[in-house]
Structure 1
Amino acid sequence: MNKIHVSVADWQKDIAEIRRIREAVFIAEQSVPPELEWDADDADAVHFLAFEGDFPIGTARLLPSGEIGRVSVLKDWRGLKVGDKLMEAVMGMAEQRGQTKQFLSAQVYAAPFYERLGFKIVSDEFLEVGIPHVDMVRGD
């Protein structure tokens, strides 16, 4: 296996790859309606792509508010620490931008992954697009 690396993506240039990953994970696997997956926040977000060699296998975004979202890794690459590398890049960028407090809405099954990265659950469980989520925060 090639080394996994993460880069800041260009929304305009990399939109096809970002869409391919998010559509595979959220729309195809998790049945999120397409009209709920794509929103106006994408235009203002910093996007990240994880690669194996030169093949994009994961993505995430950071909003100007410090909210992290759309963290997704293609099925065949899960369990290989791709999510860790994506989140390290996103959290590092947030901190560089002075966003010492980051937050996200995590699918309940993924909460332990985010807790390992220093996030704490700050809400009761709630449904978002029919999937149980919790709000989580990291930092001050």
Structure 2
Amino acid sequence: MPKPVEIKVNKVNNPETLQTVFAIRKEVFVVEQKCPPELEWEHEEDSHHFLALVDGEPAGACRWRKTDLGYKLERFAVLKQHRGKGVAHMMVSTALRDLPSDADYIYLNAQIDAMPLYAKSGFEKVGEQFEEAGIQHFKMVKKRV
């Protein structure tokens, strides 16, 4: 029986940890998914960043930011060796809990493969499929409860 893992997701509050977040995103989006690097690095100063750790080892990253539409969850990335452990679900939960109490419109652009993850957290697909950085996506909006 595999040993249970400890997953922690922490808000980033220093430049060194932010560099770890950027390294994870570079590995997942730029190297693995072949996204153009110039599309990966935008809105960094406007965003609230998070780093996921599995047994103390950097494993994933995400962020949220306020936009003209509402609050957007973005850049969910889990390193290949840590997938399937619940890291992404923990990051979604942590990011949602961190949003301000007045966050009445919460949305994201989901890669098609990740849509079931977001649906488990109460997001619903809206609109037509579209391409972003060469990858097919759907916009998803958090259902109101």
TM-score by structure 1 length? 0.92
Query: Which residue of 2 is the match for residue 138 of structure 1?
Result: 142
2:73 is the counterpart of 1:71: no
| Mapped contact 2:108–2:141 kept (Cα < 8 A) | yes
What is the alpha-carbon root mean square deviation over aligned residues? 1.4
Aligned partner of 1:84 among 56, 77, 89: 89
Give the superposition deviation at 1:98.
2.0
Give the superposition deviation at 1:6.
0.6
Query: Which residue of 1 is the match for residue 23 of structure 2?
Result: 20
Question: Structure 1 stretches of 5 or more lacking a match?
Answer: none
Give the superposition deviation at 1:19.
1.2
Q: In structure 2, what is the Cα distance between the partners aligned to 1:69 and 1:10? A: 18
The share of aligned pairs that are identical, in percent, is 33
Q: Write out per-residue CA displacement over residues 32-90 of structure 1, whole angstroms, 9 at most, x where no aligned residue.
A: 01111001x11111101111232211010010231000001000111100001000000
2:6 is the counterpart of 1:6: no
Give the superposition deviation at 1:11.
5.6
Give the superposition deviation at 1:14.
1.7
Query: Which residue of 2 is the match for residue 99 of structure 1?
Result: 103
Distance 1:33 1:127, change over 3 A: same
Give the superposition deviation at 1:13.
3.4
Query: Which residue of 2 is the match for residue 121 of structure 1?
Result: 125
Question: Structure 2 stretches of 5 or more lacking a match?
Answer: none
Larger strand fraction of residues: 2
Give the superposition deviation at 1:12.
2.5
2:62 is the counterpart of 1:60: yes
Aligned partner of 1:49 among 48, 51, 57: 51
Which segments of structure 1 move beyond 6 Å, counting only runs of 4 or more? none
TM-score by structure 2 length? 0.89
| Mapped contact 1:100–1:139 kept (Cα < 8 A) | no
Aligned partner of 1:29 among 29, 32, 38: 32
